[in-house]
Structure formats: structure tokens, C-alpha cells
Structure 1
Amino acid sequence: MSSTPATSRLSKQPDERRDEIVAATRQLFAERGVAKVSVTEIAKRVGVTRGLIYHYFPDRDALIDLIFEDHIDEFVEAVSRWDAEREAGNVEKALLDCVAMFRHHLHAKDMFREDLGHPENAGLYNRFVDRAVRAVVDRLRVTTVEAYARAHHIEIDHVGEVFYVLVYGLIGLVRSSPDTDDQVLVAIVRQTLHLDLGN
């Protein structure tokens, strides 16, 4: 009867097995933090060998990247909702709502985000923020920036790069000085982008 578990493991579809590995990784990261979870522990949670984990993922970083994508997708989706719900022409309100959205996501509490904030995970944190900012800026360019450009002249050059620096800077400022007033953040965005608040 000992062959039954092995047979059931081998009979799983590749996508199903891969999803199990990703789910177990998410659970372990949430329970223990990124730095403390090894591929051996992931394999044990799923009930497979380390070799099978490496069959699906070249290394532990590839699994971490998938977890990054979950959080980044959530952030980008929030940007899309903000863009869809904003009142056309009311730039001031849109900026305040955007600042509130950023604050919400930056201060959301879960083990993964808290773990990334520890000094020993600085490299992972920087990798995560870089990817998140790029994804957010990509979304802003095809939604908010294009909509703004239809009604106003964009007064900045190198739009993507300016947005990248702005979003990255806002994240750093809100994380390091969480008490910074929303009106200050709005003023920084307005001044950096030379926004026309007239119409």
C-alpha cells in the first residue's frame, strides 16, 4: 500500500502540481517570512522531493518572484480602480485619492510585506519595489497619463522616467516619514508633473 501516495503524486497534472508548490510557498512565507523558508521546507509541505520543486522552478528566487507578482498585481489593480473611478477634470481630488491608495498599500500588514522590511532582506525589498514601481508606472502611462494628455499639455519630458522617480520617491517618503501630510505629497506630485489644475 505504500505505493499509493507515490502513484497519486505522479498522476497529478503539471499545472496542478505547480499550483500546489506556489500555494505552499505562499503559506510558508506568510507563516514564517521569506528569509526563513527553504526549498526543502516547501517540498516537505507539498509532500514531494526537492528535485521536483527544481523541475518546476529553477531556484528559490523564481518562487519569490511569483509571490512578488501577486502583490504587484494587487497594487496595479488598485491603480486601475482608482483611474476608473476618478472624476474627470478634478485633478486635486484624484491626487488626494491616489495618495490615500498608496498609503493603504504601503501600510497593509502581512508577514510577507513586514518581512521584506527587515534589513537582512534589503536586496529582496529593492527588487520588489523596482518591479512594483515599473508595473504601476506602465499602468499609469496607458490610463491616467493618456487621459490627462487628451485634455492638457504635458509639461514634462521623459514621462515614464519622471513617473518612475516620482513613484519611487513617494514610496520611500511615505515609508520613512509616514506622518507626512497628504497635502504635502499632493503638492510634490503636482509640482513634479507640472499639473494644470484649472479644468
Structure 2
Amino acid sequence: MTGDLNEPSTTRESKSPDERREEIVVAARALFSERGIGKTSISDVATRVGVTRGLIYHYFGDKDALVDVVLERYIDEFVTSIRMWDAAREVGNIELALTDCIGLFRHHLQDDDPLRGDLHRIENAALYYRFVDRAVTAVVDCIRATTVKAYALRHQMEIENVYETFYVLVYGLVGLTRSRPEIEDRVLVGIVRQTLHLDGRPATNPRPDGGPAKVQGD
């Protein structure tokens, strides 16, 4: 086989394209977590898998494409954690729902390995914001479909553009906890209450069909 002179000569086990692609992704993710994105090369990934660089390029085109696939795995795991949280959370408790979500963001974005640390580097800002955009969307979809409606059935909450309001709120809370990780949950709860005008009063004029009361833009 022809290849770069600096590539190791390997006898590769015959695997299906899907198996080989998965093997490359797993190796890249492990290396990114050990060293960070910037300090991991395609050659490093090829060596870890035991294949040539050319095969990596065959499956992914370039390093950016491989990074994108690894990042999507992290996003998928975060979205799965959101779905699990939504299935177990206290229905109708908006303050707890949002502070719980911030806990999930803190866990998934903490600098406990070089890959997560790399997401905070300025050169990887696009990757970070893509992660946050998709994650926030998943959070808001859950909250709007369940917690907000349950709260509105029992309490007064007059806000317009529900989806957009919660998107901005969650995005802002994520940014705040990122820049000020020491901020306490009670402060976050206060911000949520003020932003959503949550006063705990019983809902008035509930809809005949039993849907949410006094929530506009849904």
C-alpha cells in the first residue's frame, strides 16, 4: 500500500465502513479529551486507530469534519440528559426546572478535560456556541411543552412570545454561570422570577379545554 513515509506500516483488520468510521470517532474523542482539540492531529488519530492518515481523510475529509462529529456526540449526550431530567423533574416548578438545567450545563461544560476546556477557547467559539444553541433549544422545548403549561394552569403568568422568552432566559443563565461560576442558585431563581413575572397568584380565566391560562405566543 502506498502512503506517507512517516506513517506506520500496519496490517489492518478488515472492518465494515461503519465499524471503521466509529472506531475513528471513538479514538478522536478519546484523544481530544486527553490532549484537547488543538493538540491532537490527524496523525495522532491514525496512530491510535492503527490506520493511515489517508483513511481518516477518506472518511472525514479534514480535521474540522472529524471535530464536528465528535462534538455532535457530546451534544447528543447532553440532549439525552435533558430528556431524562424532563421525565423525572417536578412538573410546574419553573424555578427548579431552570436551575436544574443550569446544573446540567455546568456539568457538561466544566473544564474537567481538555476537550471541554477547548470549547472555552476563543478560537473554538463557533463550536461552543453551536453546542449551546442546540442544547438550549432542547431545554426550551422540554420546558415549554410541560413545565410552563403545568405552571400556567395553576398560577398567573402573563408573558408573550413564550418560546423566545425562555430561549433568551436560558441562554442568559448559561452565559452568566459561565462567566461567574460562583453565582448561587438563589440568585438564578430571583432572575427567573423577575424575568417571567412569577407572582404565584392563582390563574384566572382558564381555557375551557383545560389548556394553559394567560400565556400568550404559545
Partner of 2:11: 5
More helix by share: 1
Question: Residue 51 of structure 1 corresponds to which residue in structure 2?
Answer: 54
Q: 1:173 aligns with which of 170, 176, 187?
A: 176
Aligned partner of 1:137 in structure 2 is 140
The separation in 2 between residues aligned to 1:120 and 1:150, in whole angstroms, is 45
Check the 8 A contact 1:72/1:135 in 2, yes or no: no
1:12 partner amino acid = K
Does residue 181 of structure 2 align to residue 188 of structure 1?
no
Q: Which has the larger radius of gyration?
A: 2
Contact between 1:28 and 1:37, CA under 8 Å: does it hold in 2?
yes
Give the Å deviation of 1:159.
2.5
2:20 — aligned with what?
Answer: 17
Structure 2's unaligned 5+ residue stretches are: 1-8, 203-218
**CA contact 1:76–1:139 (8 Å) conserved in 2:** no
1:28-87: CA deviations, max 9, x gaps?
101110112222322222222233223222332222222222222232233223322223
Q: Quick one: which amino acid aligns to residue 172 of structure 1? A: G
Distance 2:88 2:78 in 1: 15
Q: Deviations over 1:150-174 (max 9, x none)?
A: 5567633333322222222111100
* Aligned counterparts of 2:156 and 2:124: Cα–Cα separation in 1: 42
Partner of 1:123: 126
Measure the CA separation in 2 of the matches of 1:159 and 1:168.
Answer: 14
CA apart distance, 1:148? 4.2
The alignment's TM-score, normalised by the length of structure 1, stands at 0.79
State the one-letter code of the partner of 1:55: H
Q: Which residue of 2 aligns with 1:72?
A: 75
Q: 8 Å contact 2:119–2:127 — kept in the other structure?
A: yes
* Residues 1:198 and 1:68: Cα distance change in structure 2 (over 3 Å): farther
TM-score (norm 2): 0.73
Which of the numbers 80, 102, 107 marks the counterpart of 1:104?
107
- Decide whether aligned partners of structure 1 residues 123 and 94 sit closer, same or farther in structure 2, where only a CA change above 3 A counts: closer
Q: Distance in 1 between matches of 2:124 and 2:89?
A: 36
CA RMSD after TM alignment: 2.9
Conservation of the 8 A alpha-carbon contact between 1:106 and 1:171: no
Q: State the AA in 2 paired with 1:84.
A: A
